Structure 1
Amino acid sequence: MRAFTNPWVLGGTFMYATSLVTWLKVLSTMELSLAYPMVSLGYVLVMVLSFLFLGETFTIHKLLGVAAVITGVMLIGYK
């Protein structure tokens, strides 16, 4: 029972529920073929946040990977 009342668990559950509602809203307004590639931007966000909050470093390989992800999402979303 202590695990379910842990603030981190409650916060994580709230964040997950929020992302679920947001994802359902996105899917109701966009085509899946356009919306799903946007999920890969999460990798970019994780890299930036890990740099800011955890002190991780950028390497040339990471930056090239991020550039490839962003380029891919832009190409898929381009009309």
Structure 2
Amino acid sequence: MGGGVVADDVGYGKTAILLALMRMQEQFDCGPTVAQRAKEVASCIHLKATLVIAPDRLVVQWKTEAMEYFSVAKATPLLHC
């Protein structure tokens, strides 16, 4: 995946969609295609991270939901306000 933006209206489930997408990305990261692509493309830098930009009032909610969805060992939300 090359990246993307989810900017739906309030109530359309952006949080649930992105948490599910992160879970799918986690499975992709462990697959053989990532290592193979890194060997084929010298400029390929694969990061196992996701950037979420949210309004200040939703940052704590995002962290809470991410910690509930993922195990603590696999998710380390970093907050910057």
Structure 2 length normalisation: TM-score?
Answer: 0.31
Structure 1 length normalisation: TM-score?
Answer: 0.31
Return the index of the structure with the highest Cα Rg. 1
